[in-house]
Amino acid sequence: MKLYLAGPDLFRPDVLEWAGRVAALCRREGHQALIPLDGTRTDAGDIYRNNLRLIGEADAVLANLNPFRGSEPDSGTCVEIGYALALGKRVIGYAETLTPLRHRLQAAGPGADGCYRDAAGWTVENFGLALNLMLSVPLQLEQGGIEAALRAVGRAGPADQP
Q: Where are the alpha helices (DSSP H) in 12-136?
A: 15-28, 44-57, 75-86, 101-104, 133-136
* Cβ-based neighbour number of residue 64 at 10 Å: 21
Domain membership flag for residue 152:
yes
Residue 79 in any domain: the answer is yes
- Using an 8 Å Cβ cutoff, are 90 and 157 in contact? yes
Model confidence pLDDT, tens digit, residues 7-35: 999 999 999 999 999 999 999 999 999 99
Domain that holds residue 6: 2-100+129-160
How many domains does the chain fold into? 1
Q: What tens digit of pLDDT does each residue of 101-135 get? A: 999 888 999 999 999 999 999 999 999 999 999 99
Note if the pTM is more than 0.85.
yes
Tens of pLDDT, residues 35-61: 998 667 678 999 999 999 999 999 999
Please state, in angstroms and rounded to a whole number, the distance separating the CA atoms of residues 110 and 126. Answer: 9
Residue type, 77: T
Specify if 45 maps to a domain.
yes
Residue 108 lies in a domain: no
* CATH number of residue 14's parent domain: 3.40.50.450
